[in-house]
Structure 1
Amino acid sequence: MNTGHKDIAGTGPVLAKFNMDEILNCMHCGFCLPACPTYAQTGLETYSPRGRIALMKGVASGQLPVDAEFEHNMNACLGCRACETACPAGVPYGGLLETAREVVQDHHHADGKPSAVRSLVFRHLFPYPKRVKRLGTLLWSAQALGLQKLASRTGLIRVLPGPMAEMQQAVSRVASPWKRSKRQTVMPAETPNTMTVGLFTGCLMDILFYETNEATARLLTKAGCDVVFIKDQGCCGAMHAHSGEMAGAKELAKANIEAFERSGVDYLVNNAGGCGAALKEYGHWFRGDPAWEERANRFALANRDASEILVELPPLSFTKPFPARVTYQDSCHLAHGQGIRTQPRELLRSIPGLDLIEMRQADSCCGSAGTYNLTQYEMSMQILDGKMVHAEATQARIIVTSNPGCLLQMKQGIIRAGLEDRMEAVHIMDLLNRAL
């Protein structure tokens, strides 16, 4: 049937990509406006959720073209999903944004303008765990040889694009290949066993924050879990999905679903808010797919954030006080995407001696948003600098967060604010492990 809508890349009408019922659920009431960081920064309607949905509606109906302006407005969005929390109609904005970016990429493929960098990252790096590990080994080698410090001292670091040159300051020491090779396949429970869980190690998470994964596993064993490092797991696909590379995201999801099914574990536990939100949305990704929808839904239901499952298990036993003034920065995809807010705070309050001070607008985005702090650097830094004003006001010694991207961003914020001598950023799993 000819719908009269514009075709893109031979994939059928743009209308078929979008869920028009979801688009039309937007009442344009404006409740999302105060929650949107980019609208707060600019005051532009096209930088607001309802404005972007209006543009999606125009593209889906064929009234607006998929042009550079549409692409810019979609990419300027953080994808933090704070608007979903604020929306009285329950509009699933995150899914609509992913569709819009997929439509943009379809348009580029149709025009024969695929990006070499995108192709390298999304097609030749992240789908291959061994290549990601080799990248980690290269980074470790550069750090071990002092090349990172040398480049900073001599100014050679300026050969990198500005955002990457600044971001590298926040990257901690990468675990050595030898240390990574010594990881046990199974870490047995230290207390009477309650369940067997798989730890989702992620891709970059297991390179840049290997110790955080190890700390998470140790905490789970202390709470009575046998922890399995599942073979053949890989990237969750979140970066692909958020960047409009949905076909690639689904291939990564299939590999993770199959690996989980073979493992026989009760739950799959992750410690990265962004990854966890993606893992829990596999059912949505495969909606209507007869071969994968049911399997994806079972997989999604078996996923838990580490803080989510730890509060359900026997409490951790702390042997001595941990006196520290701490504030918590919500991960957007943990708070808005998964609705997990109280569990991390409950775990922090369980640490004897810890003083938890709530930060103003703790659940507003820090500006990291996956690769946003690289691709939309100026906006990201404006949002980060505002976040650091609220963080400094708490007079906390430690900023705790629950997502690797947020952790890097908050580390960078501390450096930008000149607070290195009196503040540090720590993943919640590392802080719990430190307190034990």
Structure 2
Amino acid sequence: MRCGFCLPACPTFKETGLEAESPRGRIALMKATVDGVMEPNDQFEDQMNHCLGCRACEPACPADVKYGQLIEQARDAIEAHTVRHRGWVKVVRKLVFKQLFPHQNRMGLLGKGLRIYQKTGLQTAVRKTGAVGLFSKQLADLERTLPKVSGKGVIQQLGTRIPAKGEKLATVGMFRGCLMDSMFTETNNKTVRLLSEAGFEVIIPESQNCCGALHAHSGETHDAKQLAKSNIRAFQEAGVDYIISNAGGCGAILIEYDHLLHDEPDWREQSEWFAKRVKDISTILVEKGRLPQPSQPQSNDRVRVTYQDSCHLRNVMKGGNSPRKLLAALPDVELVEMKDAGSCCGSAGIYNVTQPEMANQILEHKMENANATKAHYIVTSNPGCLMQMKLGIDKHADNDRVQAVHIVDFLFDRMVKS
């Protein structure tokens, strides 16, 4: 397909106007490399890595080209054949992809370490001295958006089985994630309690692990598959009716486990069982839940809210409408649509770390649209988007009172009595 419908949907093409920065252009580069017309050199690798992986091109494509699968295959091929990783790059990749994210207990230690960092005054000292900025200005910027970390995961705080309030509608498995559970534990807690209030028994399998999204997006497909198999086993053994995610980036890979394992016949049935049960928290609440009655506002004043889509929730899980329905149903909320709300904010996993120039350019334009809504809250459904929007507020907000918040936290505070 060379029609070009994907071009105006692509954030990097919109920023640069370059054909090579579009899905059509990148597919042409992939084909030229496969056909032997060009070498998979540094420029080719850079262009593949410059893609955000937001997959906004897929809903725009009349031929339903699976661009997300193509870009992941290209990155996997690059990683399999590259000999260019040297020194610290190789060390960091091994640390992140092999030693840290696959191990839930080590992610828990990360959470405890961040808790100590925040509570001992070390964070204050680091910020005053600008120590993080010596390594990377982008990392220093992102450090300012870190949430308050509890140091305890959702299982440590709530247990592995939480009963439904009132008549049970279904049994759901909570996918706790790795960063979500180590850094955004309070959001995980509120997710479980919101599900319980809505009539769902919640099971949190202890043996689950990282979803594998970062691995799949970074050319570490083998490891992504191993993580997927472990998660499938964990939730099958739990015997749940649905598998609930509160992070759009995680949900998008979970719902495609059947594709990830499509070349392994022994896993076809199990991966299909898993994939068809995955739902975002907003979707399950709208479609199946017995929603708690929102608390009535104390005055006639309404808060102005705008919603920033999680790319993967919108483009892969097709769940962009459910958050809006939930927000619009709140009596104290005026929901105002942001221009290009479905366009990527520039977070894209670790993109804002590996491609800071493009990420910051996209974020600046995103904040222009957010500022135009004059919203009090920017609500989103993914932790990476949440931190990116907090960074955008820190750098570009017109109103110093505006806040970025996860939709679960926003709903819980208005629907569930403490």
1:38-57 Cα distance to aligned partner (Å, 9 max, x none): 01111111111000000111
> TM-score by structure 2 length?
0.95
Return closer, same or farther for 1:178/1:72 CA change in 2, 3 Å cut-off. Answer: closer
State the one-letter code of the partner of 1:104. I
Aligned to 2:187: 212
Aligned to 1:433: 412
Superposition RMSD in Å = 1.6
Aligned to 1:44: 18
Return closer, same or farther for 1:309/1:177 CA change in 2, 3 Å cut-off. Answer: closer
Moved over 4 A (4+): 109-114
Q: Give the Cα–Cα distance (whole angstroms) in 1 for the partners of residues 233 and 132 of structure 2.
A: 42
Q: Give the Cα–Cα distance (whole angstroms) in 2 for the partners of residues 160 and 109 of structure 1.
A: 25
State the one-letter code of the partner of 1:82. A
Q: Give the Cα–Cα distance (whole angstroms) in 2 for the partners of residues 207 and 86 of structure 1.
A: 35
Structure 2: gaps spanning 5 or more residues: none
2:118 matches 1:164: no
State the one-letter code of the partner of 2:152. P
Aligned to 1:5: none
2:117 matches 1:142: yes
Q: Give the Cα–Cα distance (whole angstroms) in 1 for the partners of residues 361 and 84 of structure 2.
A: 35
Q: 1:89-128 residue pairs with structure 2 within 5 A?
A: 89-108=63-82, 115-128=90-103
Q: Give the Cα–Cα distance (whole angstroms) in 1 for the partners of residues 378 and 7 of structure 2.
A: 27
1:154 deviates by 2.4
Residue of 199, 217, 221 corresponding to 1:224: 199
Residue of 372, 392, 400 corresponding to 2:351: 372
Aligned to 1:3: none
Q: Give the Cα–Cα distance (whole angstroms) in 1 for the partners of residues 154 and 244 of structure 2.
A: 22
Q: Give the Cα–Cα distance (whole angstroms) in 2 for the partners of residues 358 and 53 of structure 1.
A: 32
Q: Give the Cα–Cα distance (whole angstroms) in 2 for the partners of residues 205 and 315 of structure 1.
A: 24
Give secondary structure in 2 for the equivalent of 1:311: helix
1:276-303 Cα distance to aligned partner (Å, 9 max, x none): 0100000001113111122111100011
1:156 deviates by 2.4
1:345 deviates by 0.5
1:63 deviates by 2.4
Contact conserved, 2:155 with 2:204, CA < 8 A, in 1?
no
Give secondary structure in 1 for the equivalent of 2:96: helix
Q: 1:235-250 residue pairs with structure 2 within 5 A?
A: 235-250=210-225
State the one-letter code of the partner of 1:356. L
Return closer, same or farther for 1:387/1:68 CA change in 2, 3 Å cut-off. Answer: same
Q: 1:3-402 residue pairs with structure 2 within 5 A?
A: 27-108=1-82, 115-177=90-152, 181-312=156-287, 313-321=289-297, 323-402=302-381
- Greater shift after overlay, 159-168 or 201-210? 159-168
Return closer, same or farther for 1:311/1:262 CA change in 2, 3 Å cut-off. Answer: same
State the one-letter code of the partner of 2:226. E
Q: Give the Cα–Cα distance (whole angstroms) in 1 for the partners of residues 116 and 399 of structure 2.
A: 26
Return closer, same or farther for 1:97/1:224 CA change in 2, 3 Å cut-off. Answer: same
1:420 deviates by 6.5
Give secondary structure in 2 for the equivalent of 1:198: strand
Q: Give the Cα–Cα distance (whole angstroms) in 1 for the partners of residues 85 and 92 of structure 2.
A: 17
Q: Give the Cα–Cα distance (whole angstroms) in 1 for the partners of residues 271 and 330 of structure 2.
A: 36
1:74 deviates by 0.2
State the one-letter code of the partner of 2:36. G
1:155 deviates by 2.4
Contact conserved, 1:410 with 1:425, CA < 8 A, in 2?
yes
Q: Give the Cα–Cα distance (whole angstroms) in 2 for the partners of residues 393 and 51 of structure 1.
A: 32
Q: Give the Cα–Cα distance (whole angstroms) in 2 for the partners of residues 338 and 364 of structure 1.
A: 15
Q: Give the Cα–Cα distance (whole angstroms) in 1 for the partners of residues 68 and 375 of structure 2.
A: 32
State the one-letter code of the partner of 2:24. R
Structure 1: gaps spanning 5 or more residues: 1-26
Q: Give the Cα–Cα distance (whole angstroms) in 2 for the partners of residues 388 and 134 of structure 1.
A: 34
Return closer, same or farther for 1:110/1:381 CA change in 2, 3 Å cut-off. Answer: closer
Return closer, same or farther for 1:165/1:375 CA change in 2, 3 Å cut-off. Answer: same
Q: Give the Cα–Cα distance (whole angstroms) in 2 for the partners of residues 411 and 223 of structure 1.
A: 29
1:51-89 Cα distance to aligned partner (Å, 9 max, x none): 000011112223222211110000000011111111111
Residue of 406, 421, 425 corresponding to 2:400: 421
Contact conserved, 1:321 with 1:351, CA < 8 A, in 2?
no
Give secondary structure in 2 for the equivalent of 1:351: coil
State the one-letter code of the partner of 2:65. V
Aligned to 1:407: 386
Return closer, same or farther for 1:348/1:28 CA change in 2, 3 Å cut-off. Answer: same
1:325-348 Cα distance to aligned partner (Å, 9 max, x none): 100001000111111111111111
1:157 deviates by 3.0
Return closer, same or farther for 1:178/1:124 CA change in 2, 3 Å cut-off. Answer: closer
Q: Give the Cα–Cα distance (whole angstroms) in 1 for the partners of residues 405 and 337 of structure 2.
A: 16
Q: Give the Cα–Cα distance (whole angstroms) in 2 for the partners of residues 28 and 298 of structure 1.
A: 35
Give secondary structure in 1 for the equivalent of 2:266: coil
